[in-house]
Amino acid sequence: MLAAERRNIILAKIQEEKKVVVSELSRIYEVSEETIRRDLDRLEDEGYIVKSYGGAVLNESNVTELPHNVRRGVNISAKQKIAELACGEIEENDHIFLDASTTSVFIAKWIKQKEHLTVITNSIENLLELSTVTGWDIISTGGQLRSGTMSLTGWKTAEALSAYHVDKVFMSCKGLSMERGITDGNDETAGIKQAMIASADKVYLAADLSKFGKKAFSQICGFDRIDTVITDSEPDTVWKDYFTANRIGLVYPKA
């Protein structure tokens, strides 16, 4: 296994479990503990993790997006549940925005069962996923490519989004908290989602429960801009009461 491949796997494990132990990683990947420490040094230098005694934890304040292939492999079951529920919120002939989150890629897969939609996205992977669909209108925002996240960003992307008016936007985030609202990893990503919100009649936030109560670096918006939250399982009573008090719809799998 190449060192870069091993580091991505380690990063995915930290993203999933929030922490790792050097001795355990050494045993799993059959390399020395010193090799694992070098891997963790590299990941810390890149801002993804914070080393701790005997291991490392995820850097929750990281402003650098995790590599796309790492993010896509995390919480797959949750993303599939959310995508199925999101599909149920979309009607034939809707005009929608899909952001460049990995959750949106799962939504793009699910919505291909629809007869006709107009989809505008800044995600390269969404464009590829929907490229085989016939009879739809698929629109790319254009902009500067961020290869690590497979997304198009920058002022041209925001300008393109402002030229459209859609029925619904489906977006994800890195965290949602009652104190700070909806947050993401950096200003650039948050700004693109703000542009989507400004041009949509209805805003859907697609976020699994692991993001509830979390705060990331850049604020996207307050809860007053969110119409419906779609998540993978039933939130606790505090969150349900909060959504009810703020007239925010809540969609999750029912038993």
For 210-228, the DSSP string reads GGBT---SEEEE-GGG-SE
How sure is the predictor about 113, in pLDDT bands with cuts at 50, 70 and 90? very high
Q: Which of 99, 103, 89, 102 is CA-nearest to residue 119?
A: 99
* Residue range 144-179, pLDDT digits in tens: 998 778 899 999 999 999 999 999 999 999 999 999
Mean pLDDT confidence for 40-52: 87
For the cut 90, the answer to whether the pLDDT of residue 198 exceeds it is yes
Q: Residue 1's pLDDT is what?
A: 75
The pLDDT assigned to 250 comes to 98
pTM confidence score: 0.80
**Structure confidence at residue 73 (pLDDT):** 56
In this prediction, residue 18 carries a pLDDT of: 78
Least confident of 16-20, 63-67, 166-170, 200-204: 63-67
Mean pLDDT on 123-131: 95
* Fold of the domain built from segment(s) 3-59: Arc Repressor Mutant, subunit A (1.10.10)
How do the domains of the chain map onto residue ranges?
A: 3-59, 70-251
| List of E strands, 24-174 | 49-52, 55-58, 95-98, 118-121, 137-140, 144-146, 151-153, 166-171
The answer as to CATH 3.40.50.880 being correct for domain 70-251 is no
Tokens found for residue 106: 């799962």
Rounded to the nearest 5 percent, the helix, strand and coil shares of the chain are 40, 25, 35
pLDDT in tens, 223-246: 999 999 999 999 999 999 999 999
